[in-house]
Amino acid sequence: MAELTTIARPYAKAAFDVAVEKNTVDNWAEMLDFIAVVSAHPQVQPMLKGAVAPQQVAEFFIGICGEQINSHGQNLVKVMAENGRLEVLPAVSELFIQYRNEWAKEVEAEVISATELSSEQLEQISASVEKRLSRKVKLNCSTDASLVAGVIIKAGDLVIDGSVSGQLSRLNDELKS
pLDDT by position in tens, the chain (length 177): 458 778 888 888 888 888 888 888 888 888 888 888 888 887 777 777 766 777 777 888 788 777 888 888 888 888 888 888 888 888 988 898 888 888 877 788 889 888 888 889 889 988 888 888 888 888 888 888 888 888 888 887 788 888 888 888 888 888 887
The neighbouring-strand residues paired with 111 are 141, 153
78 touches 28 (CB < 8 A)? no
Classify residue 111 as left (phi > 0), alpha (psi -120 to 50) or beta.
beta
Res 104: pLDDT: 78
DSSP state of 90: H
Res 120: pLDDT: 92
The neighbouring-strand residues paired with 110 are 140, 154
Alpha-helical segments (H) within 66-163: 71-82, 89-103, 119-133
Res 55: pLDDT: 79
Report d(CA 69, CA 77) in Å as an integer: 10
Q: Is the pTM of this model over 0.85?
A: no
Report d(CA 56, CA 85) in Å as an integer: 14
Across 110-142, b (16+ Cβ under 10 Å) vs e yields ebbbbeebeeeeeeebbeebbeebebebebeee
Map out the domains of the chain with their CATH numbers. Answer: 2-101 (1.10.520.20), 107-176 (no CATH)
Report d(CA 12, CA 89) in Å as an integer: 9
User: In Å, what is the CA distance from 1 to each residue of 7, 16, 39?
Assistant: 10, 21, 16
Res 38: pLDDT: 83
